[in-house]
């Protein structure tokens, strides 16, 4: 294998090292990665803690949303019941669907990633543990606030996809819809933060030698999942922002009377919403591909095919969004293209399913609880997949659209594709985090009750749907033949609820998190996560030579625990992890990890408060909360990018690597680039929205400001980019005044970005553009608002850079902070220039 970074792979032969390790190494690791005490539990940031909190919170939301489902089913058990009023039912199905999708399914798998990935990859932790903590707390606070809106009758009631015009101010005048828009927008930010963490973690924190072909299936799935989040979620951020702007400021993006179009919402929502289904499915599939080989005690059949299938699923999921819109009257040929694409999805999904079946056939299946859940999920998912192919056919979809057939289909896919695999994962991996595994006897009860309960609930719904029962109705008339299937469905829901209750009891009886002892590798799993671990993860980071290291690398467990691999101690006396290269996982440098801090939590509290206060239109308190949030982020970042006392460190067997890295190969750079990709996606989708709205009513669009204004707008943006680049170059020159000049240039650059924005705004104001009059003006102002937000952040960053310079925290050998700020400013300038060119030149005068 050719080296990717110049690292000589022969050096791996030095491991496992021989001879005893010096005394005190383990104690030092334990001291550095110590257990939190008292209130420190809240500010803990390692994945062992945050991962468990995260999974726990996701399960809490699952139970709460499930409770709503049982109440809905009770209401629907018999015709004309009055247990839930119509409005309450509307709120219940909206909150149930929204919580299951946004507060359970996505966060649950993300949580599983945070919990498992470091151990699975042989890292001490994911690269940005404070970001994980922030993402978790933001999600918990936002989610609880969202759920509690039910108690005040303020919960959203427009369905989980919130279509306008139903959700417009005319038909939903209260703040219920705003709770959805602001709440979900906020929770998605937390999901994106988690995704950035996962991408950088999987690509840069793998154990040395763990090249792509030795990467666990779950890590592949999480990588693709996280990339999909980065691409898909910006769409919902844009959609919710536009809708909120329409509701709050009367900018008519979705109002056809003033040049808007409700179809735009559907495009934006489903461009996110359909990939969301695969975003949920892929990690669960990754878990299944990890659990099935362990349960069948044989390698996964067709590892490479399954990797390809996951990638293909990720790609195609972005090409099928309009199959949710077959009934909206799109042109026939467009509908046919989407229909064909939808059917093509079954190819990669089929590859995975056949790989699992082949693995089960090739090995010796053990019917323990994780095995049962994995196989139960497979069966249920295949059934949902088959009805999926049915509704991919347009004529059938026209019949089944908005009926209970769809409710049955979506639950089969989601429960088979995510819930069962997730339970399999809990039963399989729990011994890793608890001193006791869950009870096998009870687990089997849980599985069989849940499996039968789910099928009894949802199988009859296909029939109810085909008999004409529409979805989202709070009751129905007798004598339509719907009574019996509805009663059966309710009975099934009760069985499922009993299963969940049993599981909760089992968890309460057996789960002992954060103990000093783990139950161990009770299922004989082959992955690194089954190595003995402490809060520091593995004692030493092994060299990986196999896809199934614990099965194939003899004595690995013993040698790892004896400290005979990389990082047997703390090389710098602090928290640290090895950063490796993307393809071959060659050691590159030692990343210093942050210590626990309350600031990310306070930042989450204040950002959540800012969003919530915004929802109830308390603008000033919201602003104050926002400012406090920024203050917390300043404090959070302040301790990062500090001087290092050792330039290189021995990470084991005499191999030395740098302890600091700036530029494109550093983890910070990667995180910033990914953040900017999110910004870029929002921008691209906004550009799509702009062109889409034009295509609806080209005749109504008015000419832009005179072309002469364009160079004046572009010039400050170009200058800002140039100054930012110059700042980084000058800092690296390491002259006496480099720090000062670089700071002045950066502050100047952020000021210029602001200037470009003001000039653009002036140009449109000058020709009398009113954002409330027509969708064109609304779109132009939406671009301005987005750019204004970035310009504001650039200004805040400029202020931060100045403060760091004043505090003497800027030095030529530690340029990361300035690099990242410059990257952001350059992007903001590019974004402003792109938006200006688009709205000035298209469709033109």
User: Where on the chain is the footprint of another protein (CB under 8 A)?
Assistant: 1-2, 211-213, 304-305, 307-309, 311-312, 315-316, 318-319, 322, 331-334, 336-341, 343-344, 347-348, 583, 695, 698
- Contact predicate 529/122, CB 8 Å: no
By beta-carbon proximity to ligand HEM, the closer residue of 75 and 607 is: 75
CB atoms within 10 A of CB 673: 16
Does residue 592 bind ligand HEM (CB under 6 A)? no
Bridge partners (DSSP) of residue 566 are: 541
- Contact predicate 550/527, CB 8 Å: yes
Question: Which one of 20-28, 94-102, 392-400, 732-740 is the stretch in contact with ligand HEM (CB under 6 A)?
Answer: 94-102
Cβ 351 to another protein shortest distance, Å: 8
By beta-carbon proximity to another protein, the closer residue of 339 and 387 is: 339
Does residue 101 bind ligand HEM (CB under 6 A)? yes
Residues 398-417 contacting ligand HEM, CB under 6 A? 407, 410-411, 414-415
By beta-carbon proximity to another protein, the closer residue of 337 and 631 is: 337
Write the secondary structure of 89-111 as one string of H (helix), E (strand) and C (coil): HHHHHHHHHHHHHHHHHHHHHHH
Residue 343 binds: one of ligand HEM, another protein, none (C-beta under 5 to 8 A by kind): another protein
- Pick one of 100, 230, 608, 728: the residue that binds ligand HEM (CB under 6 A): 100
Q: What is the end-to-end Cα distance of the chain in Å, rounded?
A: 58
Helix (H) or strand (E) holding 424: helix 420-433
Alpha-carbon distances, residue 297 vs 112, 293, 428, 783 (angstroms):
23, 5, 14, 55
Q: Tell me the C-alpha distance between 149 and 156, whole Å.
A: 8
Degrees (nearest 5) of the Cα angle 355, 359, 362? 135
Residue 72 binds: one of ligand HEM, another protein, none (C-beta under 5 to 8 A by kind): ligand HEM
Residues 148-167 contacting ligand HEM, CB under 6 A? 159-160
Q: Tell me the C-alpha distance between 278 and 272, whole Å.
A: 10
Cβ 270 to another protein shortest distance, Å: 13
Does residue 419 bind ligand HEM (CB under 6 A)? yes
Residues 105-134 contacting ligand HEM, CB under 6 A? 105
The two three-digit tokens of residue 27, written as one number: 């104690």
Site size toward ligand HEM, by CB under 6 A: 26
Contacts of 105-108 with CB under 8 Å at 24 or more apart are 105/280, 105/414, 105/418, 106/191, 106/229, 106/276, 106/279, 106/280, 107/54, 107/57, 107/58, 107/61, 107/139, 107/143, 107/187, 107/190, 107/191, 107/194, 108/55, 108/58, 108/59, 108/62, 108/418, 108/422
Cβ 477 to ligand HEM shortest distance, Å: 16
Bridge partners (DSSP) of residue 578 are: 590
Residue 100 binds: one of another protein, ligand HEM, none (C-beta under 5 to 8 A by kind): ligand HEM
Residue 96 binds: one of another protein, ligand HEM, none (C-beta under 5 to 8 A by kind): ligand HEM
Cβ 700 to another protein shortest distance, Å: 14
Helix (H) or strand (E) holding 392: helix 369-392
Cβ 279 to ligand HEM shortest distance, Å: 12
Sequence-distant (6+) residues with CB within 8 A of 248 are 178
Cβ 286 to another protein shortest distance, Å: 16
Sequence-distant (6+) residues with CB within 8 A of 419 are 377
Does residue 184 bind ligand HEM (CB under 6 A)? no
By beta-carbon proximity to ligand HEM, the closer residue of 214 and 324 is: 324
Residue 344 binds: one of another protein, ligand HEM, none (C-beta under 5 to 8 A by kind): another protein
By beta-carbon proximity to another protein, the closer residue of 137 and 670 is: 670
By beta-carbon proximity to another protein, the closer residue of 699 and 736 is: 699
Cβ 496 to ligand HEM shortest distance, Å: 4
Residue 112 binds: one of ligand HEM, another protein, none (C-beta under 5 to 8 A by kind): none
CB atoms within 10 A of CB 154: 17
Residue 258 binds: one of another protein, ligand HEM, none (C-beta under 5 to 8 A by kind): none
Residue 316 binds: one of another protein, ligand HEM, none (C-beta under 5 to 8 A by kind): another protein
Does residue 274 bind ligand HEM (CB under 6 A)? no
Cβ 727 to ligand HEM shortest distance, Å: 47
- Contact predicate 312/228, CB 8 Å: no
Bridge partners (DSSP) of residue 470 are: 403
- Contact predicate 757/787, CB 8 Å: yes
Does residue 73 bind ligand HEM (CB under 6 A)? yes
Alpha-carbon distances, residue 55 vs 50, 62, 198, 284 (angstroms):
9, 10, 15, 14
Nearest in space to 100 (alpha carbons), one of 410, 564, 342, 389 = 410
Does residue 69 bind ligand HEM (CB under 6 A)? yes
Does residue 96 bind ligand HEM (CB under 6 A)? yes
- Contact predicate 717/764, CB 8 Å: no
By beta-carbon proximity to ligand HEM, the closer residue of 96 and 267 is: 96
By beta-carbon proximity to ligand HEM, the closer residue of 48 and 176 is: 176
Bridge partners (DSSP) of residue 541 are: 566
Cβ 85 to ligand HEM shortest distance, Å: 14
Does residue 667 bind ligand HEM (CB under 6 A)? no
Residue 105 binds: one of another protein, ligand HEM, none (C-beta under 5 to 8 A by kind): ligand HEM
Q: Tell me the C-alpha distance between 245 and 253, whole Å.
A: 9
Query: Which residue matches tokens 């295949």?
Result: 382
Cβ 546 to ligand HEM shortest distance, Å: 35
Residues 460-519 contacting ligand HEM, CB under 6 A? 471-472, 493, 496
Residues 540-569 contacting ligand HEM, CB under 6 A? none
- The tally of CA atoms less than 13 A away on the side-chain side of residue 522 is 19
Q: Give me the DSSP letters along 267-321.
A: HHHHHHHHHHHHHHHHHHHHHHHHHHHHHHTSPPTTHHHHHHHHHHHHHHGGG-G
Residue 68 binds: one of another protein, ligand HEM, none (C-beta under 5 to 8 A by kind): none
Nearest in space to 486 (alpha carbons), one of 468, 508, 505, 499 = 468
Residue 334 binds: one of another protein, ligand HEM, none (C-beta under 5 to 8 A by kind): another protein
CB atoms within 10 A of CB 116: 25
- Contact predicate 754/794, CB 8 Å: yes
By beta-carbon proximity to ligand HEM, the closer residue of 414 and 710 is: 414
Question: Which one of 91-99, 175-183, 558-566, 569-577 is the stretch in contact with ligand HEM (CB under 6 A)?
Answer: 91-99
- Pick one of 368, 457, 537, 557: the residue that binds ligand HEM (CB under 6 A): 457
By beta-carbon proximity to another protein, the closer residue of 43 and 211 is: 211
CB neighbour class for 393 (10 Å; exposed up to 12, middle 13-18, buried from 19): middle
Does residue 456 bind ligand HEM (CB under 6 A)? no
Cβ 176 to ligand HEM shortest distance, Å: 14
Cβ 407 to ligand HEM shortest distance, Å: 5
- Contact predicate 287/421, CB 8 Å: yes
> Which residue in the shown chain puts its C-beta closest to ligand HEM?
97
Residue 457 binds: one of ligand HEM, another protein, none (C-beta under 5 to 8 A by kind): ligand HEM
Alpha-carbon distances, residue 721 vs 483, 832, 833 (angstroms):
67, 11, 11
Does residue 823 bind ligand HEM (CB under 6 A)? no
Chain residues binding ligand HEM by CB under 6 A are 66, 69, 72-73, 93-94, 96-97, 100-101, 105, 159-160, 407, 410-411, 414-415, 418-419, 454, 457, 471-472, 493, 496
């Amino acid at each position: 294998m050719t080296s990717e970074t110049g690292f000589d792979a022969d050096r791996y032969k030095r491991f496992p090292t021989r001879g005893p390790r010096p005394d005190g190494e383990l104690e030092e690791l334990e001291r550095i990665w110590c257990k939190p005490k008292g209130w420190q539990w809240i500010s803990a940031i390692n994945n062992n803690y945050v991962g468990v909190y995260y999974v726990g919170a996701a399960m809490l939301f699952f139970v709460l949303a499930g409770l709503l489902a049982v109440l809905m089913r009770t209401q629907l058990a018999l015709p004309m019941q009055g247990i839930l009023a119509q409005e309450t039912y509307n709120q219940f199905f909206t909150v149930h669907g929204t919580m299951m999708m946004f507060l359970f399914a996505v966060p649950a798998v993300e949580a599983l990633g945070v919990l498992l990935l470091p151990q699975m990859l042989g890292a001490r932790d994911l690269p940005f543990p404070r970001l994980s903590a922030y993402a978790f707390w933001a999600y918990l606070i936002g989610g609880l606030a969202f759920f509690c809106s039910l108690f005040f009758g303020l919960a959203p009631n427009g369905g989980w996809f919130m279509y306008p015009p139903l959700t417009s101010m005319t038909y939903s005048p209260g703040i219920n819809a705003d709770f959805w828009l602001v709440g979900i927008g906020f929770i998605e930010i937390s999901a994106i933060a988690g995704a950035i963490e996962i991408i950088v973690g999987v690509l840069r924190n793998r154990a040395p030698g763990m090249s792509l072909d030795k990467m666990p299936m779950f890590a592949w799935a999480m990588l693709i999942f996280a990339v999909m989040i980065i691409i898909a979620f910006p769409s919902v951020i844009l959609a919710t922002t536009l809708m909120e702007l329409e509701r709050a400021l009367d900018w008519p993006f979705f109002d056809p009377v003033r040049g808007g179009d409700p179809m735009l919402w559907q495009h934006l929502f489903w461009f996110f919403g359909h990939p969301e289904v695969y975003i949920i499915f892929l990690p669960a599939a990754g878990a299944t591909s990890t659990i099935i080989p362990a349960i069948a005690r044989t390698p996964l059949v067709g590892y490479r095919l399954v990797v390809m299938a996951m990638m293909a699923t990720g790609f195609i999921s972005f090409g099928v969004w309009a199959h949710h819109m077959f009934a909206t009257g799109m042109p026939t040929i467009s509908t046919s293209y989407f229909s064909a694409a939808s059917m093509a999805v079954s190819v990669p999904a089929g590859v995975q399913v056949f790989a699992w079946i082949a693995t089960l056939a090739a090995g010796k299946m053990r019917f323990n609880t994780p095995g049962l859940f994995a196989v139960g999920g497979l069966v249920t998912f295949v059934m949902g997949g088959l009805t999926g192919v049915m509704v991919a056919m347009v004529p059938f979809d026209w019949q089944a659209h908005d009926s209970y057939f769809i409710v049955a289909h979506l639950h089969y896919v989601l429960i088979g594709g995510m819930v069962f695999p997730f339970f399999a994962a809990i039963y399989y991996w729990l011994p890793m985090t608890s001193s006791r595994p869950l009870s096998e006897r009870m687990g089997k009860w849980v599985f069989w009750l849940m499996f039968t309960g789910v099928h009894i609930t949802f199988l009859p719904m296909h029939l109810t749907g085909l008999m004409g029962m529409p979805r989202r109705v709070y009751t129905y008339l007798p004598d339509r033949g719907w009574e019996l299937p509805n009663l059966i469905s309710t009975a099934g829901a009760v069985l499922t609820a009993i299963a969940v209750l049993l599981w909760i009891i089992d968890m309460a009886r057996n789960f002992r998190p954060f103990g000093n002892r783990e139950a161990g590798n009770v299922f004989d799993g082959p992955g690194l996560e089954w190595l003995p671990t402490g809060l520091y993860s593995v004692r030493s980071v092994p060299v990986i030579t196999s896809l199934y290291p614990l099965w194939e690398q003899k004595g690995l467990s013993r040698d790892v625990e004896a400290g005979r691999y990389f990082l047997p101690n703390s090389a710098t006396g602090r928290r640290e992890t090895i950063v490796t290269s993307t393809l071959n996982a060659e050691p590159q440098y030692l990343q210093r990890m942050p210590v626990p801090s309350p600031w990310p939590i306070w930042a989450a509290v204040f950002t959540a408060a800012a969003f919530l206060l915004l929802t109830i239109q308390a603008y000033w308190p919201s602003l104050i909360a926002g400012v406090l949030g920024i203050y917390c982020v300043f404090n959070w970042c302040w301790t990062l990018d500090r001087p290092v006392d050792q330039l290189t460190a021995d990470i084991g067997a005499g191999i030395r690597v740098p302890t600091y890295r700036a530029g494109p190969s550093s983890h910070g750079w990667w995180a910033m680039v990914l953040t900017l990709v999110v910004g870029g996606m929002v921008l691209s989708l906004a550009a799509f929205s702009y062109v889409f709205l034009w295509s609806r009513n080209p005749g109504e669009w008015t000419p832009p400001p005179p072309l002469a204004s364009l160079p004046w707008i572009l010039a400050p943006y170009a200058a800002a980019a140039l100054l930012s680049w110059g700042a980084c170059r000058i800092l690296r020159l390491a002259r006496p005044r480099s720090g000062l000049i670089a700071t002045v240039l950066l502050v100047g650059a952020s000021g210029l970005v602001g200037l470009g924005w003001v000039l653009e705004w002036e140009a449109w104001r000058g020709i009398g553009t009113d954002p409330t009059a027509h969708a064109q003006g609304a779109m132009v102002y939406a671009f301005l608002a987005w750019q204004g937000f970035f310009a504001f952040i650039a200004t805040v960053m400029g202020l931060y850079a100045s403060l760091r310079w004043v505090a003497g925290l800027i030095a030529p050998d530690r340029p990361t902070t300035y690099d990242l700020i410059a990257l952001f400013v350059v992007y903001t300038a590019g974004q402003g220039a792109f938006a200006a060119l688009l709205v000035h030149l298209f469709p033109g005068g």
